[in-house]
């Protein structure tokens, strides 16, 4: 039998050019993998022939027994042994009953000892099915170890517990029987001869290892005899093998296993030898050891930013459900980022869209368990966390550059009830001088909840409202659901009639239009995997835009959500609806509150495409808006998948007006930034339940620093827009929003870097301080870019907040007062009208005088704020364009200026200029951390008046400098 154990040098085969200096290194020398004492744990009889039995019984009984016993006690140490034992003796050829019983007892004892030797944290679940009480009989029928976990009273731990049934070290798996070098890496054939307990075992596999770049490794494991579903995501195709990869790849032949190490440190990033590989038609599974417990990503789930590895299973299958712990939510993102000892980071991406479980355990280790497709995965070498995200989005697609007003304040609710009531809220916001760029409407604007309609009675003035918004440099966004009403009289509802004629709707297993139920009643669902549907979707939006000239779209309910399980006629009973293994999806069935898994789409079955539905709708919607508006499209989607950021932003779903939801929104925002969707935010003040004034004030302060800032609440709840509260609360909210608008040039530049370089906008502290382990779990604070530290109040009834300050100089944004930290937590004053902001040493950020819309404030002069390092240096930049034209960077219609401070002199360098930049001027500048009062300040070599304060802040004003002309400001 084969063993899952620490590999010896002779077990390892190196790929390609890695054969040389690494040839004698053990493949797992740095990984704590258990080494049980015995080999055979499967219930098999002795592997001996009749001749051997007779000879042994005749003359060498004791020698055989002693040798056999030693063989069962110790692990097999080389890969030259057979992958599996020979068949057991045929019936009638067994040993004598007394000797057989003795040997069986010995086998049982050896098996028990080997199972017991596996530490609890390294036990990989052999019976992951839900709603099954696993007995010893069931477990051993799978040839697995059965040991009740210490301190447990349950038949098997279901969630967050040690498995009672787990793989023995000799569980049968694949062997690498042949391999050959290729121009990109290596190809190999994997074979196994013992089928496992899931049907449809694929016994021969093809593995391809591709050294795509120095920091990106790709591995594909496929069925060479039959094509299987592959995610239709456009990924880069490398044509040249990496010349100096930062990774080392090692292969175990028998059992097959893959080990990936960081060349510079030897850290094991991936180690699949810790548990068996499964590759059946509807069950694919592999496990890996992790270098640490610091794991992030794996969206979409409501949790802390740092995932818990204490027996924590995260299920992925797009689902309409309010954010809830231990539940599969709206999006699916099979990507994680892991921190290593010393501050390095790497990433892992499984390109698979089928329903899956990702099981974390305290080894630390992780198991991928998916029910379709292929195994196609990437390892990203970083080495810093930001570089990991950059390398990931190079594969899935860079985030889109948002239209400028997307970064303003958005206001929405379900329950305005009339267009005039909506209009009144907008007018109140204007009257109080509270910034607002975008007004939204939820589903109540529609006529009987039908897409591409508006209520002719209650929303009869909707077109007038939109025209008024445009006259005030504001914009309008409306909801659009995918469910299309199917019950209107023939000829009365063009979207359904035309869609039926063109065949754009999802079909059931019999080829008939599948009918479910959503807000308008019985509905059909567009098949966005079909290009014909994209054209139909565009034509519907174009026709509606002629009536209501909307500026952007909110695509909701696109998991897709269904009020029924499957359809009006149910779903067929087959393996797609009831697979051999169903991940831990809410409801227990793949069809729970969505369409049938067996439903037919143009590209494949819904079983394969379900979690891609929101992405495909986002692509169709963004494309349609580009054609209709000839501007950057604004789309906000609920359901998401990798590459979604290229087409759409995301809001974190139907949260609640609770303090806990306020806190968890930060983790959600940070997670989606590392998933390549930087335009993200939560519903400010909470969506459901009655908003509390204090909570809403604090939430508005935090929400002012969401990359996407929208206040949204639910039907029949009290209003929660800023005008609905007391004068003091309203003032505090207004101040927070004006603060956001003043940061617009900085925020817009951050989105430029996200679009071009794959940077995060809202950023966890650990991204900038990866060597400071204290930052690894922080999700109550965050950064904008590398420069601005945000420390919000997240608890009721306090006028202070505790925040962690990594080592270095930090400056209070409002005053310029400095804090020199050694890496410590500090208590900050936080009255009701304040959110704490600090600038990091060495940064320069551009700000503007804010106004009620970004259109107005973006024309105001700039103010530059420099936070000097201890040596007096700082740097920053500004990207500027017209804010709405598509691909301005790609077509070089932009201005880009770099700022630098060194040796008491600020310089600007215009690296690229365009007409839009010529309209901006720089009116003032502040320098935090100027240690001595200057005797003079020179602006372009001319003396200039200045102000110097005791807290070492130097300010100059009324500069009148053109952005597109280089300048200097110096002091002496």
Instruction: Please name which of 181, 228, 231 lies closest in space to residue 208, comparing C-alpha atoms.
Output: 181
Annotate 803-871 with three-state secondary structure: EEECCEEEEECCCCCEEEECCEEEEEECCCCCCEEEEECCEEEEEECCCCCHHHHCCCCEEEEEECCCC
pLDDT digits (tens, 9 = 90+) for 651-665: 999 999 999 999 999
Residue 595 belongs to a domain: no
Handedness of CA 935, 816, 742, 839 (dihedral sign): positive
- Residue that has been written with the tokens 């509807």 in this structure: 282
Q: What is the DSSP string of 314-362?
A: EEES-----S-TTS--S--EEEEEEE-TTS-EEEEEE---S-EEEEEET
Q: Where are the beta strands (DSSP E) in 598-675?
A: 635-637, 649-651
One domain for residues 155 and 297: no
Residue 506 belongs to a domain: no
- Model confidence, pTM: 0.90
Residue 592 belongs to a domain: no
pLDDT digits (tens, 9 = 90+) for 145-193: 999 977 554 444 444 489 999 999 999 999 999 999 999 999 999 999 9
Long-range pairs for 144-148 at CB < 8 Å and ≥24 separation? Answer: 144/41, 144/168, 144/171, 145/41, 145/111, 145/114, 145/115, 145/118, 146/115, 147/115, 147/116
| 623: pLDDT strictly greater than 60 | yes
Measured distance CA(297)–CA(695) in Å, rounded: 28
CATH number at residue 159: 4.10.110.10
CATH number at residue 381: 2.60.40.1760
Neighbours of 101 (CB within 10 A): 11
Least confident of 29-38, 100-109, 865-874: 29-38
- Residue that has been written with the tokens 């002693």 in this structure: 66
Provide CB contacts within 8 A for 580, sequence distance 6+: 198, 199, 200, 280, 282, 283
- Among the three residues 345, 373, 396, which one is the final residue of a domain in this structure? 396
Mean pLDDT across the chain: 90
One domain for residues 119 and 244: no
- The answer to whether the CB of 894 falls within 8 A of the CB of 911 is no
Residue 914 belongs to a domain: yes
Q: What is the pLDDT of residue 149?
A: 77
Residue 344 belongs to a domain: yes
| 706: pLDDT strictly greater than 70 | yes
Average pLDDT over residues 675-683: 98
Higher pLDDT, 413 or 25: 413
Helices (H) and strands (E) in the chain, counts: 18, 51
| 714: pLDDT strictly greater than 60 | yes
Q: How far is CA 716 from CA 389, 414, 427, 684, 687, in A?
A: 41, 8, 21, 17, 11
Ramachandran category for residue 221: left, alpha or beta (phi over 0 → left; psi -120 to 50 → alpha): beta
Q: What is the pLDDT of residue 104?
A: 63
Confidence of residue 131 (pLDDT cuts 50, 70, 90): confident
Annotate 96-121 with three-state secondary structure: CHHHHHHHHHHHHHHHHHHHHCCCHH
Q: For the chain, what percent of residues have pLDDT higher than 90?
A: 87
One domain for residues 126 and 251: no
pLDDT digits (tens, 9 = 90+) for 336-356: 999 999 999 999 999 999 999
Measured distance CA(29)–CA(844) in Å, rounded: 46
One domain for residues 302 and 251: yes
- Among the three residues 336, 366, 396, which one is the final residue of a domain in this structure? 396
pLDDT digits (tens, 9 = 90+) for 523-555: 999 999 999 999 999 999 999 999 999 999 999
Token pair of 626 as six digits: 């580009």
Neighbours of 728 (CB within 10 A): 12
pLDDT digits (tens, 9 = 90+) for 731-763: 999 999 999 999 999 999 999 999 999 999 999
Antiparallel, parallel or unpaired: β 895-902 and 782-784: unpaired
Measured distance CA(485)–CA(885) in Å, rounded: 35
Token pair of 282 as six digits: 């509807």
- The answer to whether the CB of 635 falls within 8 A of the CB of 555 is yes
pLDDT digits (tens, 9 = 90+) for 236-286: 999 999 999 999 999 999 999 999 999 999 999 999 999 999 999 999 999
Q: What is the pLDDT of residue 9?
A: 29
One domain for residues 181 and 157: no
CATH number at residue 816: 2.60.40.1180
Q: What is the pLDDT of residue 56?
A: 37
Report, in angstroms and rounded to the nearest whole number, the Rg of the chain calculated over CA atoms.
31
One domain for residues 266 and 148: no
Active-site annotation, residues: 556, 559
One domain for residues 124 and 197: no
Residue 370 belongs to a domain: yes
Q: What is the DSSP string of 672-724?
A: HHHTT--SEE-EET-SBSPPPHHHHHHHHHHHTTSSSEEEEE-TTSPP-SGGG
Cis peptide before 761 (omega within 30 of 0): no
- The answer to whether the CB of 657 falls within 8 A of the CB of 695 is yes
Report helix, strand or coil for 134. Answer: coil
- The answer to whether the CB of 286 falls within 8 A of the CB of 274 is no
Neighbours of 57 (CB within 10 A): 13
| 704: pLDDT strictly greater than 50 | yes
Residue 327 belongs to a domain: yes
One domain for residues 921 and 957: yes
Q: What is the pLDDT of residue 822?
A: 97
Higher pLDDT, 72 or 292: 292
Q: What is the pLDDT of residue 572?
A: 98
Domain count, the chain: 3
One domain for residues 349 and 259: yes
Average pLDDT over residues 485-499: 98
- Angle at CA 439, nearest 5°, toward 437 and 444? 170
| 50: pLDDT strictly greater than 60 | no
Residue-number span of the structural domain to which 120 is assigned: 113-166
One domain for residues 129 and 206: no
One domain for residues 959 and 837: yes
Question: In this structure, what are the phi and psi dihedrals at residue 77, rounded to the nearest 5 degrees?
Answer: -105, -5
Handedness of CA 121, 123, 129, 134 (dihedral sign): negative
Token pair of 961 as six digits: 């400098």
What stretches of 335-461 show up as alpha helix (H) in DSSP? 385-396, 419-431
- Among the three residues 331, 364, 396, which one is the final residue of a domain in this structure? 396
Residue 539 belongs to a domain: no
Instruction: Please name which of 615, 607, 376 lies closest in space to residue 506, comparing C-alpha atoms.
Output: 607
| 637: pLDDT strictly greater than 70 | yes
One domain for residues 826 and 961: yes
Average pLDDT over residues 219-225: 98
Least confident of 106-120, 162-176, 195-209, 470-484: 106-120
- Angle at CA 81, nearest 5°, toward 76 and 85? 90
Ramachandran category for residue 666: left, alpha or beta (phi over 0 → left; psi -120 to 50 → alpha): alpha
Ramachandran category for residue 546: left, alpha or beta (phi over 0 → left; psi -120 to 50 → alpha): alpha
């Amino acid at each position: 039998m084969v063993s899952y154990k620490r590999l010896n040098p002779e077990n390892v085969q190196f790929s390609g050019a890695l054969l040389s200096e690494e040839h004698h290194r053990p493949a797992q020398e740095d990984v704590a993998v258990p080494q049980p004492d015995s080999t055979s744990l499967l219930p098999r009889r002795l592997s001996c022939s009749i001749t051997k039995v007779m000879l042994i019984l005749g003359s060498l009984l004791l020698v055989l027994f002693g040798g056999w016993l030693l063989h069962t006690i110790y692990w097999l140490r080389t890969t030259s042994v057979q992958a599996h034992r020979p068949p057991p003796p045929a019936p009638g050829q067994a040993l004598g009953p007394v000797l057989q019983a003795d040997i069986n007892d010995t086998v049982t004892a050896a098996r028990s000892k080997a199972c017991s030797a596996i530490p609890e944290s390294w036990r990989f679940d052999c019976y992951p099915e839900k709603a099954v009480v696993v007995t010893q009989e069931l477990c051993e029928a799978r040839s697995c170890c059965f040991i009740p976990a210490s301190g447990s009273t349950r038949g098997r731990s279901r969630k967050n517990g040690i498995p009672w049934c787990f793989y023995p070290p000799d569980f049968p798996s694949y062997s690498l029987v042949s391999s050959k070098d290729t121009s990109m890496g290596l190809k190999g054939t994997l074979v196994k001869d013992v089928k496992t307990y899931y049907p449809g075992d694929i016994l021969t596999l093809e593995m391809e290892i591709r050294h795509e770049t120095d920091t990106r490794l790709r591995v594909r494991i496929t069925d060479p005899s039959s094509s299987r579903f592959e995610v239709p995501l456009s990924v880069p195709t490398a044509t040249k093998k990496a010349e100096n990869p930062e990774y080392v790849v090692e292969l175990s032949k028998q059992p097959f296993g893959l080990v990936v190490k960081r060349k510079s440190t030897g850290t094991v990033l991936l180690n699949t030898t810790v548990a068996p590989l499964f590759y059946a038609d509807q069950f694919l599974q592999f496990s890996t050891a992790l270098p640490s417990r610091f794991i992030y990503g794996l969206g979409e789930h409501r949790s802390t930013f740092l995932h818990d590895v204490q027996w924590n299973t995260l299920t992925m299958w797009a689902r309409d459900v309010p954010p809830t712990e231990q539940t599969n939510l709206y999006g699916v993102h099979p990507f994680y980022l892991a921190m290593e000892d010393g501050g390095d980071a790497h990433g892992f991406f499984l390109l698979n869209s089928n329903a899956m479980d990702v099981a974390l355990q305290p080894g630390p280790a992780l198991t991928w368990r998916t029910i379709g497709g292929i195994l196609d995965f990437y390892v990203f070498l970083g080495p810093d966390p930001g570089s990991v995200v950059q390398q990931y989005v190079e594969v899935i697609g860079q985030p889109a550059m948002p239209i400028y007003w997307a970064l303003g304040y958005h206001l929405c609710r379900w329950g305005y009830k009339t267009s005039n009531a909506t209009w009144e809220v907008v007018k109140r916001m204007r009257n109080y001088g509270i910034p607002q760029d975008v007004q939204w409407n939820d589903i109540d604007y529609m006529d009987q909840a039908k897409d591409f309609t508006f209520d002719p009675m209650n929303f009869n003035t909707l077109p007038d409202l939109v025209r008024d918004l445009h006259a005030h440099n504001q914009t309008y966004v409306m909801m659009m659901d995918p469910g299309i009403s199917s019950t209107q009289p023939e000829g009365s509802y063009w979207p359904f009639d035309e869609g039926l004629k063109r065949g754009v709707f999802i079909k059931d297993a019999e080829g008939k239009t599948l009918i479910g139920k959503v807000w308008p009643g019985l509905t059909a669902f567009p098949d966005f995997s079909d290009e014909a549907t994209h054209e139909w979707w565009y034509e519907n939006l174009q026709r509606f835009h002629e009536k209501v000239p909307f500026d952007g779209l909110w695509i909701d309910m696109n998991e897709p959500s269904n009020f029924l399980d499957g359809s009006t006629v149910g779903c067929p009973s087959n393996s797609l609806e009831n697979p051999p293994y169903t991940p831990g999806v809410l409801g227990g069935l793949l069809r729970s509150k969505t369409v049938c898994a067996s439903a037919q789409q143009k590209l494949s079955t819904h079983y394969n495409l379900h979690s891609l539905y929101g992405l495909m709708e986002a692509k169709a919607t963004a494309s349609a808006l580009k054609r209709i508006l000839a501007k950057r499209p604004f789309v906000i989607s609920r359901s998401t998948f990798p590459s979604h950021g290229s087409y759409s932003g995301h809001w974190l779903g139907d949260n609640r007006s609770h303090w806990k939801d306020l806190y968890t929104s930060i983790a959600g925002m940070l997670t989606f930034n590392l998933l390549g969707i930087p335009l993200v935010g939560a519903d400010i003040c909470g969506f459901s339940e009655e908003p509390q004034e204090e909570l809403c004030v604090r939430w508005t302060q935090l929400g002012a620093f969401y990359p996407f800032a929208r206040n949204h609440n639910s039907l029949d709840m009290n209003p929660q827009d800023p005008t609905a509260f007391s004068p003091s609360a309203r003032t505090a909210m207004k101040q927070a929003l004006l603060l956001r608008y003043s940061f617009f040039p900085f925020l817009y530049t951050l989105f430029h870097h996200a679009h071009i370089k794959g940077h995060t906008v809202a950023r966890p502290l650990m991204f900038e301080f990866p060597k400071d382990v204290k930052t690894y779990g922080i999700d109550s604070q965050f950064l904008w870019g590398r420069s601005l530290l945000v420390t919000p109040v997240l608890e009721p009834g306090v006028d202070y907040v505790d925040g962690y300050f990594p080592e270095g100089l930090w400056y209070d944004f409002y005053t310029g007062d400095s804090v020199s930290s050694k890496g410590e937590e500090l208590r900050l004053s936080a009255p009701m009208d304040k959110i704490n902001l600090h600038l990091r040493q060495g940064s320069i950020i551009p700000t503007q005088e804010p106004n009620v819309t970004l259109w107005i404030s973006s024309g105001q002069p700039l103010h530059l704020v420099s936070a000097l390092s201890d040596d007096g240096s700082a740097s920053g930049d500004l990207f500027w364009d017209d804010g709405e034209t598509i691909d301005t960077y790609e077509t070089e219609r932009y201005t880009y200026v770099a700022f630098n401070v060194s040796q008491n002199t600020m310089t600007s360098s215009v690296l690229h200029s365009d007409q839009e930049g010529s309209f901006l001027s720089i009116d003032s500048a502040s320098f935090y951390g100027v240690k001595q009062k200057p005797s003079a300040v020179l602006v372009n070599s001319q003396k200039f008046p200045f102000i110097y304060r005791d807290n070492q802040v130097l300010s100059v004003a009324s500069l009148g400098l053109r952005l597109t002309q280089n300048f200097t400001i110096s002091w002496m």
